[in-house]
């Protein structure tokens, strides 16, 4: 039996990237293992994983774990968020696997939520004590290894690749490339929207009138200056629009409407938006950082020099001015073979010894 840790899911008000990954992966596991995957929550009072209450009038019930069961936790947490978990982990009655997304709180603490920075060393310590750690990418797997001394005993570390099929829409094999630009991600310095806005302002000032949609909620710690800059640019009649919240269906439509997705992020653990854009048939221009290259390398995806405003401007102008280049990149995105969530689930089950 697989028990999927959904403790934070019940409290979360927004659909973060981590939550979307969790939803897609557990859904794919259920398809592959009918009746063998159940969502559970950590209940501090019980010092155990329990079945969540289905209504206000019901209580949570403790899971009777067996040695051949698996707990999988895709969440990022510390002992203060799951009181008693450290003790449970040391004497656990079943096997447990964690999903490691990134090491950004330690590599970029200046642009990471303070709570995440404080929690991360504890989180890493908990993962180290698990039976298996699934990493969001090869890059993320190496980041996990590098967080510990070479002599440290670590669990098995298995790189995964996220699936792109986040929406059941039909992939567009004849997509026009005359739409506007799109960038997707929470508004914050890590996502590097300021770099993109700098570049867009430059090409708009040269007379190009391609519109830009910026899709993503505002980071309450760091995002407000970016949102205010977009508002200021709108008042100056630049063709930029901010959309803070999108359903999966609306996101799919945004990719369908755009001619090019741009991902200037300066730090990631994987490249989920890159392959989701390609899945929708929308080509990609991304910052040349390892996780985005790992996910995006291939037809339909181009890269600009790392954090280079100058090269980003050159690449955007080349896209706008060269029809053959646009056609080549667009056709590459439409015809490219893209990883699916069913494949991710299959890799995970193989490692757990539960493949059918």
What pLDDT band is residue 167 in, cutting at 50, 70 and 90? Answer: confident
- List the chain domain ranges: 2-163+341-352, 181-335
Residue 12 has pLDDT above 80, yes or no: no
Residues present in the chain in total = 356
Question: What class does CATH assign to 2-163+341-352?
Answer: alpha beta
Q: What is the pLDDT of residues 62-100, one digit of tens each?
A: 899 999 999 999 999 999 999 999 999 999 999 999 999
Exposure of 152 in the CB half-sphere (CA atoms within 13 A): 15
Distance in angstroms (rounded) separating the CA atoms of residues 22 and 73:
9
Other beta carbons less than 10 A from residue 339's beta carbon: 18
Q: Output the pLDDT for position 18.
A: 83
Q: What is the DSSP letter of 174?
A: S
Distance in angstroms (rounded) separating the CA atoms of residues 119 and 104:
12
Instruction: For CA atoms 310, 316, 319, 320, give the dihedral sign.
Output: negative
What pLDDT band is residue 174 in, cutting at 50, 70 and 90? Answer: low
Q: What is the DSSP letter of 236?
A: T
Q: What is the pLDDT of residues 252-281, one digit of tens each?
A: 999 989 999 999 999 999 999 999 999 999
Which of 81, 91, 38 shows the shortest CA–CA distance to 61? 38
* CATH code matching the domain that covers 181-335, chosen among 3.30.1300.10, 3.40.50.2300, 3.40.50.720, 3.40.50.2000: 3.40.50.2000
Residue 232 has pLDDT above 80, yes or no: yes
Distance in angstroms (rounded) separating the CA atoms of residues 72 and 98:
6
Q: Output the pLDDT for position 61.
A: 86
Mean pLDDT of all residues belonging to the chain: 92
Residues of the chain above pLDDT 70, percent: 94
Q: Which residues contact 13 (CB under 8 A, 6 or more apart)?
A: none
Instruction: For CA atoms 156, 160, 166, 170, give the dihedral sign.
Output: negative
């Amino acid at each position: 039996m697989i028990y999927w840790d959904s403790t934070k899911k019940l409290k979360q008000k927004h659909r973060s990237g981590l939550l979307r990954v969790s939803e897609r992966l557990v859904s794919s596991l259920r398809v592959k293992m009918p009746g063998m995957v159940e969502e559970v929550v950590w209940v501090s009072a019980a010092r155990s994983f329990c079945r969540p209450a289905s209504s206000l009038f019901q209580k949570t019930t403790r899971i009777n774990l067996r040695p051949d069961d698996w707990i999988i936790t895709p969440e990022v947490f510390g002992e203060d968020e799951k009181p008693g978990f450290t003790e449970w982990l040391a004497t656990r009655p079943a096997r447990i696997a964690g999903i490691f997304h990134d090491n950004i709180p330690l590599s970029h603490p200046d642009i990471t939520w303070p709570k995440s920075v404080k929690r991360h060393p504890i989180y890493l310590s908990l993962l180290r004590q698990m039976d298996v750690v699934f990493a969001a990418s090869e890059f993320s797997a190496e980041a996990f290894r590098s967080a510990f001394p070479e002599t440290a005993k670590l669990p098995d570390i298995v790189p995964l690749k996220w699936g792109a099929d986040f929406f059941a829409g039909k992939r567009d094999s004849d997509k026009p490339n005359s739409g506007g630009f799109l960038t997707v991600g929470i508004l914050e310095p890590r996502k590097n929207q300021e770099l993109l806005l700098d570049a867009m302002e430059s090409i708009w000032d040269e007379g190009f009138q391609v519109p830009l949609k910026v899709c993503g909620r505002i980071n309450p710690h760091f995002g407000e200056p970016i949102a205010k800059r977009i508002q200021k640019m709108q008042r100056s009649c630049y063709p930029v629009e901010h959309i803070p919240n999108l359903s999966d269906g609306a996101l799919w439509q945004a990719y369908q409407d755009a001619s090019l997705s741009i991902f200037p992020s300066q730090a990631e653990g994987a490249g989920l938006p890159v392959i989701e854009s390609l899945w929708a048939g929308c080509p990609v221009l991304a910052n040349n950082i390892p996780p985005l290259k790992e996910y995006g390398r291939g037809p339909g995806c181009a890269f600009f020099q790392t954090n280079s405003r100058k090269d980003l401007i050159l690449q955007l102008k080349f896209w706008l001015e060269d029809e053959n280049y646009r056609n080549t990149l667009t056709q590459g995105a439409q015809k490219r073979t893209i990883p699916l969530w069913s494949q991710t689930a299959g890799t995970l089950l193989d490692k757990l010894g539960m493949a059918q």
